[in-house]
Structure 1
Amino acid sequence: MAGKTDNLLAILRAQPVVPVLIVDDAKSAVLLARALVAGGLTAIEITMRTPAALDAVKAVAAEVEGANVGAGTILNARDFDAAVKAGSTFIVSPGATRGILDAAKGSDVPLLPGAATASEVMALREEGLEILKFFPAEQAGGAAYLKSVSSPLAGTLFCPTGGISLKNARDYLSLPNVVCVGGSWVAPKDLVAAGDWAGITTLAREAAALRG
């Protein structure tokens, strides 16, 4: 478990923002991932919310140098296994089930499971998980909540996701128990639809500089 924790920590610490993407086709996913990596965001989460998501993970894993592609919105063990086979280097889930936790234990690929309460955090710590997704971040109490639990839940690191933007990202990144944040603002739908990869690279650079 320690090895997987170290691997996940290295991926997440590579940048302050992990792009959370919904993609409609594998070709655009490759171009999008290249634009994000060029801007300094190498860890990329492709959510399993479209029929093209798995193919997108495969394509990015195979074709985008420097990218660490993860699969998000994993809801069960079957999806976990499919995402790993597609080439995911990390797995993200909005919560945690017994099936997902068992799949994670049997895999070398690290899991970033979601938690929104102290009890959920404690339960996942008992499973040996030290890095968690705080989701939905803004709706579950925001940066103020994470600050309040930093002492009683010491030793747990979070990647807050949900309602985070350029305007409030630093509120989270300034906290000692936050390793990075997840956000979709670096790949807005209008720029993706227009194929404005240079514009997305600019947004990625801006996000990458948040901790600078």
Structure 2
Amino acid sequence: MSEKNDKLLSILKLQPVVPVLVIDDLASAVPLARALVAGGLKAIEITLRTTAALEAIRAVANEVEGAVTGAGTILNAAQYEAAVEAGSQFIVSPGTTQELIDAAADSEIPLLPGAATASEVMGLREEGFTMMKFFPAEQAGGAAYLKSLSSPLAGTFFCPTGGISLSNARDYLSLPNVVCVGGSWVAPKELVARGDWAGITKLASEAFALRG
């Protein structure tokens, strides 16, 4: 388990912001991923919320140099297996079930499990997880809540996602228990629809600069 935790940590440390993408049009997946990578955001989460998602993961994994492709909104073992088969290098879930924990144990590809309460975090720690997704971040208590967990649950690290934007990302990134944040603002639907890849690279570069 420690090896998978280390693998996941190395991915999440690539950048301060992990783009969370909903791909409706498969044709946009590769140029969108290339635009994000050009801006410094190599680790990319493609959510399984559309019919194009698995093929988008496959295309980005195969065609975008430098991209570290992940799958989000994974809800069960079948989706976990399909996402790995498509080329995902990390898996993200909004919450956690025993089925997902078992799927993660059977796979070489690490899981970033979702948690929103101290009890959920403690349960995941018992299973050996040290990296978790805090979701939905803003709605579940925001940066102040996550900060309050840092001392009693020391040694647990988070990627908060949900309601995070350029304006509040630093509030989370300044916390000792936050490695990175997840956000969709780096790939606005209107820019994707227009094929404004330069505009997305600019947003990605601004997000990458949050590391400082």
Same topology, TM > 0.5: yes
- Counterparts of 1:122 and 1:207 in 2: how far apart (Å)? 31
Deviations 1:86-142 (A, max 9, x none): 000000000011111100000000000100000000000000000000000000000
- Counterparts of 1:68 and 1:191 in 2: how far apart (Å)? 22
Q: Which aligned pairs between 1:150-165 and structure 2 lie closer than 5 A?
A: 150-165=150-165
Q: How many residues align?
A: 212
Which residue number corresponds to residue 88 of structure 1?
88
Which residue number corresponds to residue 100 of structure 2?
100
- Counterparts of 1:26 and 1:147 in 2: how far apart (Å)? 38
Cα contact 1:4–1:110 (8 A) shared by 2: yes
* Structure 1, unaligned runs of 5 or more: none
Q: Give the deviation of 1:25 after TM superposition.
A: 2.6
SS of the residue corresponding to residue 62 of structure 1 reads helix
Are residue 61 (structure 1) and residue 61 (structure 2) matched?
Answer: yes
Which residue number corresponds to residue 27 of structure 2?
27
Q: Would you identify which runs of 4 or more consecutive aligned residues in structure 1 move more than 3 Å?
A: none
Which residue number corresponds to residue 3 of structure 2?
3
Q: What letter matches 1:125 in structure 2?
A: R
Q: Give the deviation of 1:24 after TM superposition.
A: 1.3
Q: Which aligned pairs between 1:75-154 and structure 2 lie closer than 5 A?
A: 75-154=75-154
- Counterparts of 1:85 and 1:99 in 2: how far apart (Å)? 18
TM (normalized to structure 2)? Answer: 0.99
Are residue 179 (structure 1) and residue 179 (structure 2) matched?
Answer: yes
Deviations 1:52-91 (A, max 9, x none): 0000000000000000000000000000000000000000
- Counterparts of 2:27 and 2:85 in 1: how far apart (Å)? 19
**Residue identity (%):** 77
SS of the residue corresponding to residue 175 of structure 2 reads coil
TM (normalized to structure 1)? Answer: 0.99
For the aligned residues, what is the CA RMSD? 0.5
- Counterparts of 1:114 and 1:55 in 2: how far apart (Å)? 24
Cα contact 1:25–1:53 (8 A) shared by 2: no
SS of the residue corresponding to residue 40 of structure 1 reads coil
Deviations 1:17-42 (A, max 9, x none): 00000001322111100000000000
SS of the residue corresponding to residue 119 of structure 1 reads helix
